[in-house]
Chain A
Amino acid sequence: MRIARTVLLLFGCLAPLLLNLAGHTQTPQAARGVIRLKVRYKSAAGMKDLPRKRFFLIKGSLEQNQALTDTIKQTQFTSRQCYYRSHGASDALLKWLDEKDCESIYCHEIEDKYISGSEAVPEFKAAYDQALKELKTPEVARRWLPNYLPAELRDGYYKTRQQTIDALTKQAETATGKPVMSIMTDRKGTAYLTDLDPGVYTISNLVGSETEKSSILWICEREVKATDLYIAMKRPFMLSNEKDPKVKCEVIERPLPACK
């Protein structure tokens, strides 16, 4: 009887200790991977960084994502110029969009000089007049002017493009069973994909990114190993429209079409 009691007492004392020990001896958190993406393209003016473009990280190799890559390659997209022209945009509006490589009118401020004066954009002027009629205050009317533009001129191009991208990411997620991560390049064409499971990934911009004269589509493959961010920063994954035997990449460059 006494022995049983002692065993019970000992077990009572040791159990929390053992449990605590088990907690500490669990496998440490798996090491994670990082990709520092650097995107450049060759143009008439030399090598340039590709700024403000979204890239997508899809689980699996190019072979594993064959069906998806085929769909990406087949997806044709209207150029920005052609889209806006087909919706009756004025030359002044096209110039305004081109100045900052804008996909929609939200991408930079509509200053007074674009409402009246030599650089005025007729669409902005009409929207401003309507806004002023409703909102009364000139400053509020200028700031809220986008609300009074026709939807197809305001962000129609961005939305149509986004619909195509959404459909492709959905297809990728269904096929791989993993969420698609997206990041945007900075002004130097750099972006980071952090906290990744080691493995092979497909990296693509899904829809061709417009440069001065052409649209460039990247569909590339990258093996991610567990690494520290600082090391990844020193060894970027370079994408460009030039042939690089070290990079497993399919680059499709199409000249921008002439618009009717």
Chain B
Amino acid sequence: MTPLCYFHMQLSIAYKAPSSRRTPKIVALPARLEIIASLFLCFLLISFVSAQTRRRPRPTQPQPQTQAPRGSATKYSTFLHSSDKHKSLKCSDCHRVPTAWNAKRDFPDVADFPDHDACVRCHRQQFFTRQVIVGTGPSICTVCHVRAAPRENARFAFGAPNNSNQPTKPKQQWQFTNEFPHDKHQNAIAMLHRLRSVFSNHKLTDDKKPDYNNCSICHKTDDTPTLARVLPQPVPLPRPENYFKTMPHSHDACFDCHWKDLKPVSDDCGGCHKLAPAAFAPMTSPKRISAKFAHEGGKGEHILECTTCHINITRASTSRGLTPDVPIAACASCHKDSKKTTYPKAATIEEEFANNKKTGECTYCHTADVGKKKPPPSHDAAAQ
């Protein structure tokens, strides 16, 4: 008998003795109820203590997370880093850095989901649920696996790049934002004079290309086939993404320098990844509004340094809110009638204004949705 149980019984007895002497008939029923209630409490207490003892974690496991929260099984089909229990863990409690990466990457990386043990040590209940008997399979499995079935090994691709031909999740969502001091990186790599082969299957820079502030180490011309190129489009796409440059999309770009020693190092996930308040759809490239600029175009004449047109980029201290804005004045430094002697084939802003008077559109640089609007004052100033 637990001490608390004994205490309850003593209370009942102590209460019963004096009262029975005075009003035996009236007190008899409450006294019995008292005993029954005490016994019931004892039963509850024993059940609770024994249940806790059964769920005590193994001593070798990291941080004891004794009990997974209860809830419907379907709730566990989505993994949330933001749950209180998950937030209390270290990244390395579940993720191995690096995992066995050779099959999926050409560099050491966190290339796969954590092992079963990382989940089962807290989510035993969700793994061995009634769903197993019913035949649907535990929904928690679908966090990583394509299907929830005991002998189903196929998993979704983990992270990027996906070189493994594994299927991707139907709805890709990120739970972390990336902290990236753009200016510091620009300081460090500004002198790089050639593209690194790892970042691209794209041709190396030729001698005409700028050799300072070479942003191409991280931002390459997107030459992957897109729907716009592969399929005939009834209407031109409003955002022809392959006019623009790409952004780094894998740890490879970071680990070149931050693999070890230079902070944040590869196993310090929180050094770059900060938990977002809510899951969000990843942004593969900045929002494009209208412009149709071909970096590799200009009949081979777009050889100016990136910062000649992206005049604000060197002041950006983070990647948040970073926009590749280019003022029209930067374009007009070449695309102007007065520059015809230097760039005889270049379309000029004056010509476009003349076209606009005839057609009501500016389509050389803009997509139709914006090209039909009245040019802003900055354009007038650039044309003067």
The verdict on A187 contacting B329 (CB below 8 Å), with A106-B189, A140-B106, A144-B256 known, is: no
Q: What chain A residues lie within 8 Å of B196 (beta carbons)?
A: 109, 143
Q: What chain A residues lie within 8 Å of B260 (beta carbons)?
A: 147-148
**A102–B106 contact, CB under 8 A?**
no
Number of interface residues of A (CB under 8 A): 43
Q: Please encode chain B, from 261 to 278, with 1 for each CB lying within 8 Å of some chain A CB and 0 for all others.
A: 110000000000000000
**B198–A51 contact, CB under 8 A?**
no
- Is B103 interfacial (CB-CB < 8 Å)? no
- Is B190 interfacial (CB-CB < 8 Å)? yes
Tell me, in angstroms, the Cα distance from A184 to B308 when the chains sit together.
Answer: 11
- Is B155 interfacial (CB-CB < 8 Å)? no
Q: What chain B residues lie within 8 Å of A33 (beta carbons)?
A: none
**A155–B188 contact, CB under 8 A?**
yes
Q: Please encode chain A, from 38 to 57, with 1 for each CB lying within 8 Å of some chain B CB and 0 for all others.
A: 00000000000001101000
CB distance from A124 to the nearest CB of B (A): 14
The stretch among A4-12, A225-233, A240-248 that forms the contact with chain B is A225-233
Q: Which residue on chain A has the smallest CB distance to residue B197?
A: A139
- Is A151 interfacial (CB-CB < 8 Å)? yes
**B212–A186 contact, CB under 8 A?**
yes
Q: Which of B177-219 contact A (CB under 8 A)?
A: 183, 186-194, 196, 198, 210-213
CB distance from A4 to the nearest CB of B (A): 47
Q: What chain A residues lie within 8 Å of B183 (beta carbons)?
A: 182, 184
**B305–A186 contact, CB under 8 A?**
yes
Q: What chain A residues lie within 8 Å of B187 (beta carbons)?
A: 54, 103, 158, 184
Q: What chain B residues lie within 8 Å of A54 (beta carbons)?
A: 187, 314
Tell me, in angstroms, the Cα distance from A109 to B305 when the chains sit together.
Answer: 19
Q: Which of B302-339 contact A (CB under 8 A)?
A: 305, 307-308, 311-312, 314-315, 327, 329, 332-333
The verdict on A147 contacting B262 (CB below 8 Å), with A135-B108, A182-B315, A191-B314 known, is: yes
Q: What chain A residues lie within 8 Å of B186 (beta carbons)?
A: 184
- Is B280 interfacial (CB-CB < 8 Å)? no
Which of B108, B193, B315 touches A108 (beta carbons < 8 Å)? B193
Q: What chain B residues lie within 8 Å of A228 (beta carbons)?
A: 329, 378, 381
Q: Which residue on chain B has the smallest CB distance to residue A55?
A: B314
Q: What chain A residues lie within 8 Å of B192 (beta carbons)?
A: 107-109
- Is B259 interfacial (CB-CB < 8 Å)? yes
CB distance from B195 to the nearest CB of A (A): 9
- Is B17 interfacial (CB-CB < 8 Å)? no
- Is B382 interfacial (CB-CB < 8 Å)? yes
**A230–B305 contact, CB under 8 A?**
no
Which of B256, B311, B312, B332 touches A143 (beta carbons < 8 Å)? B256
CB distance from B234 to the nearest CB of A (A): 39
CB distance from B37 to the nearest CB of A (A): 64
**A230–B188 contact, CB under 8 A?**
no
**B261–A147 contact, CB under 8 A?**
yes
CB distance from A174 to the nearest CB of B (A): 18
For the residues of A in contact with B, the DSSP-based class is: mixed
**B381–A230 contact, CB under 8 A?**
yes
**A154–B262 contact, CB under 8 A?**
yes
Tell me, in angstroms, the Cα distance from A139 to B207 when the chains sit together.
Answer: 24
The verdict on A230 contacting B256 (CB below 8 Å), with A52-B190, A108-B191, A143-B198 known, is: no
- Is A81 interfacial (CB-CB < 8 Å)? no
**B106–A137 contact, CB under 8 A?**
yes
- Is B107 interfacial (CB-CB < 8 Å)? yes
The verdict on A194 contacting B332 (CB below 8 Å), with A139-B198, A144-B255, A230-B382 known, is: no
Q: What chain A residues lie within 8 Å of B329 (beta carbons)?
A: 228-230, 233
- Is A104 interfacial (CB-CB < 8 Å)? yes
CB distance from B93 to the nearest CB of A (A): 24
Tell me, in angstroms, the Cα distance from A102 to B258 when the chains sit together.
Answer: 19
- Is B257 interfacial (CB-CB < 8 Å)? yes
- Is A238 interfacial (CB-CB < 8 Å)? no
CB distance from A159 to the nearest CB of B (A): 10
- Is A100 interfacial (CB-CB < 8 Å)? yes
CB distance from A97 to the nearest CB of B (A): 10
Which of B106, B189, B261 touches A151 (beta carbons < 8 Å)? B261
**B108–A104 contact, CB under 8 A?**
no
**B256–A146 contact, CB under 8 A?**
yes
CB distance from A72 to the nearest CB of B (A): 19
Q: Please encode chain A, from 102 to 117, with 1 for each CB lying within 8 Å of some chain B CB and 0 for all others.
A: 1110111100000000
CB distance from A93 to the nearest CB of B (A): 15
The verdict on A192 contacting B311 (CB below 8 Å), with A108-B192, A184-B190 known, is: yes
CB distance from A122 to the nearest CB of B (A): 19
The verdict on A192 contacting B312 (CB below 8 Å), with A230-B329, A230-B382 known, is: yes
The verdict on A186 contacting B308 (CB below 8 Å), with A51-B212, A100-B193, A107-B189 known, is: yes
**A52–B213 contact, CB under 8 A?**
yes
Q: Which residue on chain B has the smallest CB distance to residue A146?
A: B257
Tell me, in angstroms, the Cα distance from A192 to B315 when the chains sit together.
Answer: 9
Which of B189, B212, B305, B315 touches A183 (beta carbons < 8 Å)? B315
CB distance from A198 to the nearest CB of B (A): 18
Q: Can you give 22 contacting A-B residue pairs, CB < 8 Å?
A: A52-B190, A101-B191, A108-B191, A109-B192, A143-B198, A144-B107, A147-B255, A147-B258, A147-B261, A151-B262, A181-B315, A182-B314, A183-B314, A186-B305, A187-B211, A191-B307, A191-B314, A194-B312, A229-B327, A230-B329, A230-B382, A230-B384
Beyond A54-B187, A184-B314, A233-B329, 10 additional contacts (C-beta under 8 Å) are A101-B191, A108-B191, A109-B196, A135-B108, A143-B256, A147-B257, A182-B183, A194-B312, A228-B378, A229-B381
